[in-house]
Amino acid sequence: MISALDLPPLKAVFLDRDGVLNIDHGYVSDPAKLDWIDGAREAVAAMTRAGLKVLVVTNQSGIGRGYFDEPAMDRFHAAMQAQLDALGGRIDAFYHSPFHETAIIEAYRVADHPDRKPNPGMILRGLADWNLTPLETVIIGDRDIDVEAGARAGVPGYLFPGGDLRAFVSQVLGERVAALR
C-alpha cells in the first residue's frame, strides 16, 4: 500500500461540478440557481491558497439535449468564479462534455464519447494542459463514474458522500497538503 508520504507533491485537484461544488438541481445553467454545496467555496479557496490548481471536469449533456447552450454554461461558470473570487478562490479551468448518445443536437450525439465520464478524456486533457502527472493529482466526485474516470487516467479518486466539502477535502487531502488541514 502506498502512503500519501510516498506520493509526489500534490499539484492539482480535479473536481466534478454538480453534486460536489454546487447542488445538483438537474441540468442547472442559470446563475440565479447556483446553490453551493456546504463548504465548497471554502474548499476551493483553501486549495487555491495551498497553491493547487483546481480543475473542474463536468458532464454537461444538457447542452446536447438542448436544455441550454454553451454560452449559458459559461455564464454559470463565470458566476461561480465571481463568487469564489470573493473568498480568494479560483477554478483554473473548466472542462465539460456536452456529448450524449441521445442528444438532440446532432454534433453532440455520440455514444461513449472519450470525454464523457466515466471515460477519462477531460482528465487527460487537464493533465496535458497543465503538464501534470496522474499521481500529482486527485479527483473528487460524487458518483462512481467520476472516480472511475480518474482511475482510467491513473488519477487517484475520492467519492464525496455529501455534507461539508471543506471538511471532506481536509480529511482526504490533509496528509498530502499541510495547508488543507
Q: Tell me, yes or no, if 16 is annotated catalytic.
A: yes
Low-confidence residues in the chain, pLDDT < 70: 1-5
Q: Tell me, yes or no, if 6 is annotated catalytic.
A: no
Collapsing DSSP to helix, strand or coil, 42 comes out as helix
CA dist 139 and 137 (Å) reads: 7
pLDDT of residue 4: 62
Residue of 6, 16, 24, 92 marked active site: 16
Please state the length of the chain.
Answer: 181
pLDDT of residue 160: 98
Looking from the CA of 3 toward its CB, the CA atoms found within 13 Å total: 3
CATH classification code of 15-129+148-159+169-174:
3.40.50.1000
Q: Which residue has the cell 463548504?
A: 39
Which residues have a Cβ under 8 Å from the Cβ of 89 and sit 6 or more positions away?
41, 42, 44, 45, 46, 47, 48, 54
Whether residue 30 is annotated as binding a ligand: the answer is: no
What residue spans define the domains of the chain? Answer: 15-129+148-159+169-174
Q: Is the pTM of this model over 0.85?
A: yes
